[in-house]
Amino acid sequence: MSKIAIIGGGIIGVATAYELAKLGEEVVLFEKNYFGSGSTFRCATGIRAQFTDEANIRLMKYSVERWERLEEELGADIGFNQTGYLFLATSEDEVEAFKANIKLQNKFGVPTRLIDMDEGKEIVPILNTEPFLAGAWNPKDAKANPFKTLFAYLRRARELGVDAREHTEVVGLEREGDTITAVKFRSKGKVERVKVDAVLNACNAWAPLINGMAGLKRDLVPIKAYKHQLVKTEPLERGQAEPLVCPPSWNDAYIIQDGEDGGIICGAGIEHEAKSLDDVEPTYDFLRGVLRYAVRIAPPLRYAHVVRQWAGYYAKTPDSNPAIGKLLDNFYIAAGFSGHGFMMAPAVAQAMAELISKGRSKVPLDWEWYDPYRFERGELRSSAFQIG
Amino acid sequence: MRLNEHPVLRFERGREVTIYFEGQPIKAYEGETIATALHAAGIRVLNYSPNKKRPRGLFCAIGKCSSCLMVVNGIPNVRSCITLVEDGMRIERQHGRSRLPTKAKPPEFKDAKVVKADIIVIGGGPAGLMAAIHASRAGAKVVLIDENPRLGGQLVKQTHKFFGKREQFAGVRGVEIAKILEKELRKSENAEVFLETSAVGIFQEGEEKLVLAVRKERELIEFRGRAVIVATGAMERMIPFENNDLPGVYGAGAIQTLMNTYGVKPGDRVLIVGAGNVGLILAYQLIQAGVEVKAIVEAMPKVGGYFVHAAKVRRLGVPILTRHTILRAEGREKVERAVVAQLDENWMPITGTEKTFEVDVIALAVGLRPSIELLHQAGCQIKFVRELGGHVAVRDGWMETTVRGIFVAGDSAGIEEATTAMLEGKIAGIAAALRLGIADESWVEEIEKAQRDLDEFRSGPFGRRVAEGIRKALLGGVAGE
């Protein structure tokens, strides 16, 4: 048994801590703020396998299968609901693109199909069918409650012996050759040190800082934080807009009804490069912009009151695919999720834990596709389709 | 039932209109809110709760608590307590979380109306009115917004005469003070007023402050200025007891709104919980309106309000039961009885001391908490200060918060009373104009004078506690809890 340090207490770090503990490893987990405070608790709750490339489709198909059994495995309600994703086409060209995506998704067992707007209206009673020609519908896509999910993972991780510490900031890594030997961290103003056998950087938007501490170039894995915002309406009766509904050609705008209180969450690809890593100030241009899309997707939303607006980060890589893999002999990274960390967490955490503990994984994760060194080599993947 | 005779107030009603409650026609008057008209028609259950389907009615009556949400013309979650009736309006009880109307057309987009001013005042109560009056006198262009249909805030419900100095309106009834202040503000060419307009957010856009607001639930308005004064008042507290959500358990302020603003009798027999000034004044106002007050219960060993108010109420035959609390409300769909009991030295009810009052209204006068939501959203530093009624914004002696250009005044800065709210409003209004470089330095004297008046007003036994709270809320002040 070896001692593994995980840096970053978001969904990826917490879930990986749980998976490692399940494999019998000794884990210490560091979070500089509170668990979930970075991006996890700010996410739009969506989970989908409707991607447009083999690597992401296969990874997310496996992740959805893990999600389906997660409540039972963790022994807790995590608000998981398979309410689907409905993408909407506004042009014939887009319908053709949908057909090609559906074919690829079907090839790997994802049951997406093309639907007409009559069926769309049945699935989403408040949908405006008029601007749309067809929809790509996968009823197995889903949503879950990020708070409940993170805390369910955390509780099981602690029960399995994980030493999970919040308000504990990692301030340095000690490196000998290509091995990290110790982690220095600050807790209640005091700097302490722990010897480790392996380290996982799960800091997403903050990951370049940790790579720097490991003596690597900060832009080896070039992750930039983009402020993404959401607004949410007052609680409403469930069943009005359960799936995530998105016309990608409308600036990736989407709506999705919260699986707990029925409030409708509205998002869009109106993004701002974060001024600093504590810039989560909501802006009026987003509020105005997103609502214009939302009421065109579902006109009855003009009668709903907005009660919340908040921001979080998409930690984006140049190709919007995460960096998952090994950076040094015992230094690993799973970061730069570009808005997909929550949905990918069950699969990535398992894959990462198996890689660290056993050197290989049975998760269908294409290590080459997500290779963190690909940016240095100038190899970019096709940009992952980026919605909630 | 509507009141027509009142020893102090005259009720001017608008044109008669017909509204439809669950399909049944009901007579109402223009200028009345939906909840008021329904109450006058004997309808108290306004909605059923989402999870346990419990009947719910009015509680705060000033748009803050969402206990009165109804479906109006097919649109759910309408605050029936501040939405005015319109002829032919269709009103339904809301059953928990609601569906949106499925038949809706996408709106035609147009840019929001933009209103520019130097200073935006949110809240048209005593603090906001005084802030707007003084900021405009000091030369600033001011816009004042309030989500209620009338100006004056809680002053419009106060039939009693104020204490203090003559220049602080001593001897004048609250309702008259509201009229004087409104007239003063309307005289100013520098000030504009928007009623039925809810501020929903404060954004910083470059050097500009944007207060986003919605008028009559329909029209988005961007109020753009360089300073904002938040004078959003307070919200009534609730205390835990069995069936405290039964329609007929009303905040004291809601009862005052019904009977003093709209001339609607809140009920026939009332139990008041809390013998502070609000509870005592409420008892007197109820009697003025011809309502029987069965008793006032007070958990503390002695009356909290001014002696003169208590003496007046006792003279009118209302028993004040100190060391008593309410155990439960009873009734089907609305209050029919209240059960109270005596408390022992550990604040526990003493078995065998229960008394039942046959009442149809239970008035809670158990204190207020500052309405700080907008200040919190705008990023002002917030601190818990027990003496000020809860969470308040940290500010300096000129009422400026930790966000430059955002000021606070009145109950939203800490629970006190109308006289101090007016003084704080004056300070905030002048200070904002000074900070923007609009007012000249001679205005500093006016601030200093208002500060001295505040100190004087707070030197009494009631004020000392507040003064201690304010020391904690001041920027760089003493540590709080």
Q: Are residues B125 and B228 in the same domain?
A: yes
User: CATH 3.30.9.10 spans which residues of chain A?
Assistant: 85-139+224-316
User: Tokens 């003063």 label which residue?
Assistant: B184
User: CATH 3.50.50.60 spans which residues of chain A?
Assistant: 3-42+147-222+319-374
Residue B106 host element (H or E): none
Cα B245 to Cα A25, B48, B59, B423: the distances in Å are 52, 11, 9, 36
Chain A residue with CA closest to B210: the answer is A284
Contact A295 B75 (CB under 8 A): no
| Partners of A135 in beta bridges | A88, A115
Q: Please, where are the H alpha helices in B317-473?
A: 373-377, 418-435, 443-457, 461-473
pLDDT for B5 equals: 80
Q: Which of A283, A292, A300 is facing B109, going by the closest CB pair? A: A292
**Residue of A132, A279, A284 best to disrupt the B interface, most CBs of B under 10 A:** A284
CB atoms < 10 A from the CB of A322, how many? Answer: 31
Task: Please write down the HEC assignment for all residues of A235-301.
Answer: CCCCCCCCCEEECCCCCCCEEEECCCCCCEEEECCCCEECCCCCCCCCCHHHHHHHHHHHHHHCHHH
**CATH fourth-level superfamily of A3-42+147-222+319-374:** FAD/NAD(P)-binding domain (3.50.50.60)
Q: Are residues B436 and B458 in the same domain?
A: yes
Domain CATH code at residue B142: 3.50.50.60
Specify the DSSP class assigned to residue B411.
G
Number of domains chain B contains: 3
ipTM of the predicted structure? 0.90
Distance from CA of A13 to the nearest CA of B (A): 30
Q: Are residues B258 and B359 in the same domain?
A: yes
Fold assignment, A85-139+224-316 = D-Amino Acid Oxidase; Chain A, domain 2 (3.30.9)
pLDDT for B481 equals: 45
pLDDT for A386 equals: 64
Kindly state whether residue B399 falls inside one of the protein's structural domains: yes
State the pTM of this model: 0.93
Kindly state whether residue B256 falls inside one of the protein's structural domains: yes
**Residue of B100, B198, B217, B220 best to disrupt the A interface, most CBs of A under 10 A:** B100
Contact A295 B102 (CB under 8 A): no
Contact A299 B379 (CB under 8 A): no
Residue B97 touches chain A, beta carbons under 8 Å:
yes
| Residue where a domain stops, chosen among B321, B338, B368 | B368
Q: Which of A240, A305, A309 is facing B77, going by the closest CB pair? A: A305
Chain pair A-B, CB pairs under 8 angstroms: 60
Domain that holds residue B212: 114-235+370-473
Kindly state whether residue B107 falls inside one of the protein's structural domains: no
Model confidence over A321-333: pLDDT tens digits? 999 999 999 999 9
Instruction: Provide Rg for chain A, Cα atoms.
Output: 20
Residue A307 neighbours by CB under 8 Å, 6+ apart: A232, A233, A234, A263
Strands (E), chain A: 3-7, 26-30, 46-47, 85-89, 113-115, 134-138, 142-143, 163-165, 168-176, 179-187, 190-195, 198-201, 224-233, 244-246, 254-257, 264-267, 272-273, 306-316, 323-328, 331-335
Residue B109 touches chain A, beta carbons under 8 Å:
yes
Which one, of A34, A66, A261, lies nearest residue A154 by Cα? A34
Residue B53 touches chain A, beta carbons under 8 Å:
no
Which one, of A171, A198, A178, lies nearest residue A353 by Cα? A198
Chain A positions contacting chain B at CB under 8 Å are 125-126, 128, 234-238, 240, 261-262, 281-284, 287-288, 292, 295-296, 299-306, 309
Q: Are residues B120 and B226 in the same domain?
A: yes
Instruction: Provide Rg for chain B, Cα atoms.
Output: 22
Instruction: State yes or no: pLDDT of A388 exceeds 60.
Output: no
Q: Are residues B173 and B82 in the same domain?
A: no
Q: Are residues B185 and B155 in the same domain?
A: yes
What residues 209-248 of chain B have any CB closer than 8 A to a CB of chain A? 210, 212
Contact B106 A304 (CB under 8 A): no
Model confidence over A291-335: pLDDT tens digits? 999 999 999 999 999 999 999 999 999 999 999 999 999 999 999
| Residue where a domain stops, chosen among B333, B368, B403 | B368
Residue B182 host element (H or E): helix B174-187
Q: Are residues B300 and B338 in the same domain?
A: yes
Q: Please, where are the H alpha helices in B222-359?
A: 252-256, 277-288, 307-315
Distance between CA atoms of residues B463 and B475, nearest Å: 20
Model confidence over A123-174: pLDDT tens digits? 999 999 999 999 999 999 999 999 999 999 999 999 999 999 999 999 999 9
Q: Are residues B285 and B377 in the same domain?
A: no
Kindly state whether residue B313 falls inside one of the protein's structural domains: yes
pLDDT for B480 equals: 47
Kindly state whether residue B240 falls inside one of the protein's structural domains: no
Kindly state whether residue B7 falls inside one of the protein's structural domains: no
Which one, of A71, A9, A18, A19, lies nearest residue A39 by Cα? A9
Distance between CA atoms of residues B190 and B217, nearest Å: 27
Chain B environment of A303 (Cβ under 8 Å): 75-76, 100-101, 104
Instruction: State yes or no: pLDDT of A342 exceeds 60.
Output: yes
**pLDDT tens for each residue of chain B, 481 residues long:** 888 888 888 888 999 999 999 999 999 999 999 999 999 999 999 999 999 999 999 999 999 999 999 999 999 999 999 999 999 999 999 999 999 998 888 888 889 999 999 999 999 999 999 999 999 999 999 999 999 889 999 998 888 888 777 777 888 988 899 999 999 999 999 999 999 999 999 999 999 999 999 998 889 999 999 999 999 999 999 999 999 999 999 999 999 999 999 999 999 999 999 999 999 999 999 999 999 999 999 999 999 988 999 999 999 999 999 999 999 999 999 999 999 999 999 999 999 999 999 999 999 999 999 999 999 999 999 999 999 999 999 999 999 999 999 999 999 999 998 999 999 999 999 999 999 999 999 999 999 999 999 999 898 777 888 999 999 999 876 654 4
Please give the backbone phi and psi of residue B418, each rounded to the nearest 5 degrees, phi first. Answer: -65, -35
